[in-house]
Amino acid sequence: MRALLLVAHGSRREESNQEVRELAERLRAGSGGRFAWVGHAFLELAQPSIPEAVAAAAASGAREVLVLPYFLSAGRHVVKDIPEEVATALREHPEMRIEVAPYLGAMAGVSDLLLDTAVSHSPAAG
């Protein structure tokens, strides 16, 4: 059973955290049952943490978690913090398998998404 975990930085601005929760909700709604569990986690300033979310996924019966880093660049959070939090989660749940997908900014489709938005958002129509 696979789980999907959207990981964002977390913000002092509650609306930004809420945007992440709503995006995870859209992932859940759009996943069409391909993931047994879909959730979110934050690195800082908001809960749950990655280990807390992995514990929730494990409690739901998932044995594999795919982490989707909701970050734009390969800074410290992507390169160091997420792997460290994943390692902590694995120490607490050694029965789990956790993989980390490319971060959003490195996903091959991000340029197509931007171009599609640009083409559909015609200034002449504004």
Dist CA 76 CA 98 (whole Å): 20
Q: Which of 33, 91, 95, 123 binds a copy of itself (CB under 8 A)?
A: 123
Q: Does 14 bind a copy of itself (CB under 8 A)?
A: no
Q: Which of 45, 59, 87, 115 binds a copy of itself (CB under 8 A)?
A: 115
Q: Which amino acid is at 81?
A: D
Q: Does 31 bind a copy of itself (CB under 8 A)?
A: yes
Binding-site string for a copy of itself from residue 60 to residue 89, where x marks contact by CB under 8 A and - marks none? ----xxx-x-xxxxxx--------------
**Residues with active-site annotation:** 9
